[in-house]
Amino acid sequence: MFYRIAADAVVSFHLLFILFVLFGGLMVLRWRWLIWLHLPAATWGVLVEALHLECPLTRWENLFRQAAGQGGYGGGFIEHYLIPLIYPAGLTPAIQLVLGSIVLLLNLIVYLRIFRTRRPRAAF
């Protein structure tokens, strides 16, 4: 039971990480200190998609599932609702490249805005 819960927790964290990679730049607009967390996360997200790397979270999840005696994703809430969001059917390298490009473009727009609004103030 522990390994199944651990695998589900990794999937949940994986989804949150993906959402942070996608939308963390918007959070940086509000909380500037998040830039130090978001830039490495966004860089990793783009690299994983562009270079077709295996995310360590995927590896950990699979290890926990195997330790729990699960051969695949069976019928729980996590598997039914979250797994298809992270691992959609028909995901190809070309689609991964497009997704990585969207992440990169979205974050470039946000960071350009951040850096343009951080102009030095004139001293009077």
Quick check: is 124 in a domain? Answer: no
Average pLDDT over residues 100-112: 87
Q: Token digits for 73?
A: 């994703």
In a domain, 123, yes or no: no
Say what the alpha-carbon torsion angle 19, 22, 25, 30 is, to the nearest 10 degrees. -40
Flag whether 26 is in a domain.
yes
How does residue 39 score in pLDDT terms, banded at 50, 70 and 90? Answer: very high
Q: Which of 7-11, 92-96, 110-114, 120-124 has the lowest mean pLDDT?
A: 120-124
- 83 within domain boundaries: yes
Residue 107 placed within a domain: yes
- pTM of the predicted structure, to 2 decimals: 0.69
Which structural domain range is residue 90 located in?
2-117
Q: For residue 65, give Cα distances in angstroms to 16, 98, 106, 116.
A: 19, 29, 34, 46
Q: Is 122 contained in some domain?
A: no
For the chain, the domain total comes to 1
Q: Mean pLDDT, to the nearest integer, of 69-96?
A: 68
